[in-house]
Copies of this chain bind each other. A is one copy, B any other.
Amino acid sequence: MVNSIENAFLPLFYLVWSDDLLTKEEFTTLDSFIKNQSWIDEAEKEILLKYIDISHPPTRARLIEWKATIADAVALSPETKSLIDVMLTLAGNNSVIKQHKPAFKKLENDLGILGEEAFNFFKKSIDTFTSNHHTESCFDIAKLTNLLDGSEADIINKVKEVISRPAFAYETSTDVITYREKVFEWCKILADENLGNMAYPKEYGGDGDFAGYFAVMETLSYHDLSLVIKFGVQFGLWGISVQLLGTEKHAAKYLRDIGTLKLPGCFAMTETNHGSNVKGLETTATYNHATQTFTIHTPHKNAQKEYIGNAAMHGQMATVFAKLIIDGADYGVNAFVVPLRDNSGQTLPGITIGDCGLKMGLNGVDNGTISFANVVIPKDNMLDRFASINDKGEFESPIPSDDRRFFTMLGTLVGGRIGIPRSALSAAKSGLSIAIKYGDRRRQFGPDGGSEVPVLNYRIHQRRLMPLLAQTYAMHFGLQYLTQRFLARKEEEIQEIEALAAGMKAYVTWAVRDILQECREACGGKGYLAENRIAALKNDTEIYTTFEGDNTVLMLLVAKNRLSVFRKKYGKLDAKGIIDYVVDNVSTAITEKNPIATRKTGDEHLLDRHFHQQAFEHREKTTLAAAARRLKSLIDDSLDAYDAFNVAQHQLLDVGRAYLERIILEQFNTAIDSVTDEACKATLTKLAQLYALAQIEKNKSWYLEDGYMEAAKTKAIRKMVNQLCWEIRADAVPLTEAFNIPAACLVAPIAMK
């Protein structure tokens, strides 16, 4: 039986022998401590020193015995809170030891032991708030689903019913041909259900319902994304290019068959050498007045059409973009319908089709290359809404500039830049549903002596997923707004809406890339298995940041549009322009940017949506004005404008992002205003707060550099983000359930109950 002094040392002995973070140095510390205590007699010292004899470590059994002794002492005195208290209890509150409490405290420090922390090792069970946090829904899930679906609920539910049928069971073969055929079969079922032709005019079998078409794209995206893209190529890019770039004769001739998938087709714009800079396409369409035909030709290998969906296997025709040549003169890029295959699937003379082969994702889509060797098509095959050739063989167009005509044509196809981010966001919703449900169930580690804790209770896991959940909700409402603006567009709004669509496409698909990346990592090894679908979601959406316009190029376009609008309002930001600008922005410049506002850190202020909105607006306006000023000063320094824009690219991206974030937050808050259900409103409000503060946090170096906020405030925001993550965690699973993703689509075993 050990005596009271030995007993007092027991916790320290136990810790140095058991904790894998302690090394031999600690033994030296203990050794000199023991030797230097004058109140311990030599015999006792000798006994104590035996405990730390490196050549004679305690046996495993002894270590267990020590621990039991200590744990018993802890259990006996529930009021005990620190290691020192335990040591005193073990020493029977020996008054001499009590007297030397400071020395023991110092020893603890010297050993690097945090007494209160180490104390936990000896508690028999632990009741921590980290352990006790859990899912509890505080709103009605069905009501929130209704809010998300809005007026498109019927078509959304119809699509969900179709894609939940047994025929839509995911293809698991790794054989690309098998996969492509399965996707084609699925497209046929959707065509049979009249879901493909939804946007076409009634007289050609459609419904004239663009809103419905977008809802179909979005809902299909809970299923296989190859299906979505194949579907979008056929009914969107191919069909809608015929509908909007062609005239009545084209619609009458093709649209019904496109809608039923009797006539599979392609959208052949991109060439190997020209992807982003499509104005530079090199395929030619040479007009021959004698025969009333065009000759479509690929001048060299790198002018071949590339990445063309539906080309490698199924496409029978294509909308081909080519430079129109009349009498040796170049009339810019126009669109033509060109047959590729007969209806037995045989490639036609002059057409050479290559297969893009295996891709990172979307392997159910048959992307291919197309080359034309002097392929002759009738004059009527020119899609002639914006330009035509008259009976005399002369070029005619209501739009005199070739560039402007081409961009007007592209502008009519802006719907693709709405469908794509809406599809991407569905993929993010699937990913978050899987990762959050898994995080709620997966347990790993826990307090010493307690059971393991759901990983979603860990702050860092919340930090990884909760802001992304909030952003997903925010983007949902942002995309609803974009869709509504597009559907109700007026002539004079078109350029604004085109820029908004370009920006939303870039912002959302980048966000989705990051969301799915985080979901993959948050699910660990399980997230790497194909059965849990995050791999497919991630790889399939990976190209969303590139196609329908490379995101970087689009963001620069958005910035240029914003600059153009800005310049029209304030001129070149000369002296007068700056004054106008400051006056217009007086609320942020004067009211907000003062020492009291920049330091305000109260909870109420931090959660106040007016603070969020003003901060976002201030950033939007300031980045824009700064970019304009910078461009002006570069050009004033006689830099070529092209070089000046190049030098400022980094700033221009910021202009685009700040603009989009302001719009998204604004639309999220606007949507919340119209919510009547209090519980839903409260939950959405919390998400909007998290979205706002998480973006401010992400941009905090900008706010600090600008002087809009001081360090005390950005630090308070970080804490508030943590707090909101913690609170939303309880609602996280119900918030993913509100997406109402069909179980037949979600399927990931780790997300199933």
Contact = CB atoms under 8 A, between A and B. Distances in A.
Contact of A277 (B306, B361, B452, B460): B452
B401 A110 contact: no
B547 A525 contact: yes
A273 B446 CA distance: 14
Interface in A528-580: 528-531, 534-535, 538-539, 542-543, 545-547, 550-552, 556, 560-561, 564-565, 567-568, 571-572, 574, 577
A748 to B, nearest CB: 13
Interface string A288-315: 0000000000000000001100000000
Nearest to A560: B21
Given A360-B530, A529-B357, A529-B359, A641 B120 contact: yes
Given A641-B120, A711-B704, A276 B444 contact: yes
A642 B128 contact: yes
Contacts of A37: none
Contacts of A560: 21
A399 B277 contact: no
B445 A571 contact: no
B112 A567 contact: yes
Contacts of A358: 172, 174, 529-531
A63 B638 CA distance: 28
A524 B408 CA distance: 24
A407 B705 contact: no
B546 A524 contact: yes
Given A106-B571, A360-B535, A521-B551, 20 more contacts: A21-B560, A23-B492, A24-B492, A60-B400, A111-B568, A113-B567, A114-B572, A114-B641, A120-B641, A275-B444, A276-B444, A276-B445, A280-B452, A357-B531, A360-B539, A463-B649, A521-B546, A528-B542, A650-B718, A700-B705
10 contacts: A17-B401, A20-B495, A112-B568, A114-B572, A276-B445, A276-B524, A459-B649, A460-B653, A701-B704, A705-B711
Interface of A: 17-21, 23-25, 57-60, 62-63, 81, 106, 109-114, 116-120, 126, 128-130, 172, 174-176, 270, 273-277, 280, 306-307, 331, 356-361, 395, 397-404, 407-408, 443-448, 450, 452, 457-460, 463, 492, 495, 513, 517, 520-521, 524-525, 527-531, 534-535, 538-539, 542-543, 545-547, 550-552, 556, 560-561, 564-565, 567-568, 571-572, 574, 577, 631-632, 635-636, 638, 640-644, 646-647, 649-650, 653, 700-701, 704-707, 711, 714-715, 718, 722
